């Protein structure tokens, strides 16, 4: 990439954001940040109990991820974040006009539910997946990639589409 970009890798829990984001950042040689690492303890505690976050819970977290993007706009960065609603994506993109893209990892409920059933040691209970699909507002201005393929194939698709 000639121009540094902030690439937000988005999707529901279990769609592969961390795996794909890490691989993508390595391939294009820019910093990687997992949005989950920036949740306040109160959000993690709530999700650990199976309670979905509300917009108030997410506000400060989304603003912090936007600050992180602004801090890295000279080099570019891959930041993974569910970014399920349009209004969340507006917060994430604040002051980044033309400098950011959303990469939506698209998969069916069944495929992702199957993956979550195999996943261990994650604070997000698989029972919250339905609420994430219910909340999801599919972006119309994102790079959309099917997750029904290998991680390397997904990253290759993203790079082609960039």
Q: Is the pLDDT of residue 151 over 50?
A: yes
For residues 146 and 107, the answer to whether their CB atoms sit within 8 Å is yes
Average pLDDT, the chain: 91
Q: Give the mean pLDDT of 88-98.
A: 96
Q: What are the two backbone dihedrals, phi and then psi, of residue 150, each rounded to the nearest 5 degrees?
A: -70, 155
pTM for the model stands at 0.91
- Second-level CATH architecture of 25-151: 3-Layer(aba) Sandwich (3.40)
pLDDT computed for residue 24 by the predictor:
98
Taking a C-beta distance cutoff of 8 angstroms, is the pair 96, 73 a contact? yes
Check residue 3 and give its pLDDT: 82
Whether residue 44 is predicted with pLDDT greater than 60 in this model: the reply is: yes
Candidates 105, 64, 66, 114; CA nearest to 89 is 66
Percent of the chain past pLDDT 90, that is, above it, reads 73
SS3 readout for the chain:
CCCCCEEEEECCCCCCHHHHHHHHHHHHCCCEEEHHHHCCHHHHHHHHCCCCCCHHHHHHHHHHHHHHHHHCCCCCEEEECCCCCHHHHHHHCCCCCCCEEEEEEECCHHHHHHHHHHCCCCCCCHHHHHHHHHHCCCCCCCEEEECCCCHHHHHHHHHHHC
């Amino acid at each position: 990439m000639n121009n540094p970009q902030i690439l937000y890798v988005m999707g529901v829990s279990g769609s592969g954001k961390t795996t794909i984001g890490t691989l993508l950042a390595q391939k294009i040689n820019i910093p990687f940040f997992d949005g989950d690492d920036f949740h306040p303890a109160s959000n993690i505690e709530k999700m650990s109990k199976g309670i979905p976050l509300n917009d108030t819970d997410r506000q400060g977290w989304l603003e912090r991820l936007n600050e992180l993007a602004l801090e890295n706009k000279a080099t570019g960065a891959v930041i993974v974040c569910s970014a399920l609603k349009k209004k969340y994506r507006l917060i994430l993109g604040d002051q980044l006009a033309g400098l950011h893209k959303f990469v939506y990892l698209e998969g069916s409920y069944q495929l992702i539910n199957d993956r979550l059933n195999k996943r261990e040691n994650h604070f997000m209970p698989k029972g919250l997946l339905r609420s994430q699909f219910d909340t999801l507002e599919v972006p119309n201005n994102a790079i959309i990639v099917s997750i029904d393929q290998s991680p390397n194939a997904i990253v290759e698709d993203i790079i082609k589409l960039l």
